[in-house]
Structure 1
Amino acid sequence: MDTLIAAAALKDQLDGARQTGQRTVLLDVRWALGDPHGHDHYLREHIPGAVFVDLAAELAGPSEPSRGRHPLPDPEQFQASARRWGINDGDAVVAYDDSGNMAAARLWWMLRNAGFRSVRLLDGGLGAWRAAGFELAAGSEQPAPGNVTLSKGAMPAIDAGQAASWGRRGLLLDARAAERYRGEIEPVDPRAGHIPGAVSAPTTGNLQADGTFLAPAELRERFERLGYRAGVPTAVYCGSGVTAAHEIAALEIAGYSAALYPGSFSEWCHSASNDVVTGAAPYSEEAAPQ
């Protein structure tokens, strides 16, 4: 099962749809922290036929401290959204954004978690499509409603209780920027730092300069350098469970698997009973394993 599709391969797939009979649903997940204008960007230009997906409204439930800034939506709500996007059972789905798939990976993970297997990320996102010189469209697409049936729980996930001890028995990766991990800045959450035992693994380290993913061998080297070993349970979190999905996609490209902590740091840091560590080490000096 492939995680990625290149721009040229996607163009061929779309052009060959009449011969193959395979429908491809394109989903544009333009979203970035601090940029609320994803829909405006989409209206200005997108891959022809792509449907806009509102990450905050359709890929998350209502924000609440006990569940984090972008809690997973109810499965029924997610299925209704997927049908609005025009997805039918048996379709192929390709998701993309304009930020290295940092947002699109959330949709990739959610569809996979819902039991929908034929979903890939456009490697390099909209930038790769532009660079190839392929056509772009403006305005809004209105697909016919789909009939897809989704489930839940097909991808591994952990909760706050498991995250609390994960670093002592496995590998817990923090996908946020290194300065947020160290607690030097925190632009959105009430406390700064990281979950005890977590290892800093910024999501940006999964990408090449052009926004495409590193080659599988390079990703394997990266994650092994961070502590990944066969048989060691691995989990990933970020600020609110969005870019952590990108890390899980990168791990899959490398041939590895990992669980997602959906609530992530935005859930963790709201509870006064949860310790938060600052600095570059996984544990504070007082709590470091002996």
Structure 2
Amino acid sequence: MTARELISDVASLPTPVILDVRWRLGDARGREHYFSGHIPGAQYVDLPTELSGQRNVREGRHPLPSPEDFEDALRRAGVNNDSRVVIYDDSGNTSAARAWWLMRWAGKKDVYLLDGGLKAWIAEGEDLAVGPGNPVERGDFTFRLDHMRTADIDETQASPDQGVLIDVRAAERYAGHTEPMDSRAGHIPGAVNLPTASFLDDTGRFLPAERLRQMFADVGVTSGKETVVYCGSGIHACHALAAMEVAGLEAGRLFPGSWSQWSADRRRPIALGEDPR
């Protein structure tokens, strides 16, 4: 959804539920940023505590939340079963896409990312609200497992022989030149690198669909091709899956534990350098 579409949407009834999901790696002050300025009426959703389960070695840094916990988080934000939901952040939807994917996973169809995020709203000359936001009536959202698919760690290890495995981390982390978060550096053998930042233009909006389709085709992803996507801890991989939908491709499978789960298991092999294997 574009910012202009959202401006029109909030002027009509019923208004959409707007969720602010600001979070960045190394910056846990998302709520403070929300207090400093947010789209009027937006409710803040905390990615580490409401869009993730408890960090653990077995599942990684940001495991999927339980269906019950996620359902409760959306209800607190005022989401109903018939709500239209728009989600944004201030980082090109790289964190907002986690909420989008989870809602689709939970069976919610009428859910959108604000293309360009908060910057796009500001660029249209719209005002921001400050402070904690207005309380909302608790919603009735019900979790219903839908078509968004996942791959566990064993399925991910086998995936390069069956289709395409995509690592969407920055090139230097993929190659193993640096690893700021996890116990080992490198990538899963057989994975190709397609950094999620490459899906965006200079304004933080998604590139045109045909450009995205070509980018995915260049690494072997075409319609019907089995694809598994991972990142550091399962957050930015959701952004890549959103990019696949923008490109008109069937969404691939998410490896939720991603590199944080893989690297913690010393039995799993790793690859170094720019080549997949």
1:202 Cα deviation after fit: 0.2
Letter in 2 for 1:45: G
Give the TM-score taking structure 2 as reference length: 0.98
Deviations 1:129-167 (A, max 9, x none): 011111110011221111111122531110000010111
Gaps of 5+ in 2: none
Q: Which residue of 2 aligns with 1:57?
A: 49
Q: Give me the TM-score of the superposition, normalised by structure 1.
A: 0.93
Counterpart of 1:131 in structure 2 is 123
SS of 1:185's equivalent in the other structure is coil
CA distance in 2, matches of 1:220, 1:79: 33
Taking only aligned residues, the RMSD between alpha carbons, in angstroms, comes to 0.8
User: Gaps spanning 5+ residues in structure 1: where?
Assistant: 284-290
Aligned residue in 2 for 1:196:
189
Q: 1:280 aligns with which of 269, 274, 277?
A: 274
SS of alignment partner, residue 95 of structure 1? strand
Counterpart residue identity of residue 163, structure 2: G
Alpha-carbon distance in 2 for matches of 1:90, 1:230:
31
1:66 and 2:58 are equivalent in the alignment:
yes
Aligned to 1:236: 229
Match of 1:217 among 210, 217, 220: 210
* 1:16 positional shift: 1.5
Task: List per-residue Cα deviations over 1:213-253 (Å, max 9, x = no partner).
Answer: 00101101111112113332011000000000000000011
Amino acid at match of 1:237: Y
Is residue 2:98 matched to residue 1:102?
Answer: no
Q: Which residue of 1 aligns with 2:175?
A: 182
User: C-alpha distance in 2, partners of 1:98/1:55?
Assistant: 14
* Residue pairs, 1:81-160, within 5 angstroms: 81-141=73-133, 142-160=135-153
> Deviation per CA, 1:37-70, whole angstroms, max 9, x where unpaired?
1111100000000000100000001100110000
User: Match of 2:259, as an amino acid?
Assistant: F
Matched length: 275
Aligned partners of 1:282 and 1:192: how far apart in 2? 14
Among the aligned pairs, what percent are the same residue?
46
Code of the residue aligned with 1:61 in structure 2: it is G
Do the aligned partners of 2:107 and 2:143 also contact (CA within 8 Å) in 1? Answer: yes
- Aligned partners of 1:178, 1:159: CA distance in 2, in Å? 24
Aligned residue type for 1:147 = D
How much does 1:195 deviate? 0.6
Inter-partner Cα distance in structure 2 for 1:149 and 1:119: 14
The answer to whether the 8 Å contact 2:74/2:139 transfers is yes
User: What does residue 11 of structure 2 align with?
Assistant: 15
Tell me whether 1:161 sits opposite 2:170 in the alignment: no
- One-letter amino acid of the counterpart of residue 8, structure 1: R
Pairing of 1:247-262 with structure 2 (within 5 A): 247-256=240-249, 257-262=251-256
What SS does structure 2 have at the residue aligned with 1:56? helix
Contact 2:34-2:44 at 8 Å conserved across structures: yes
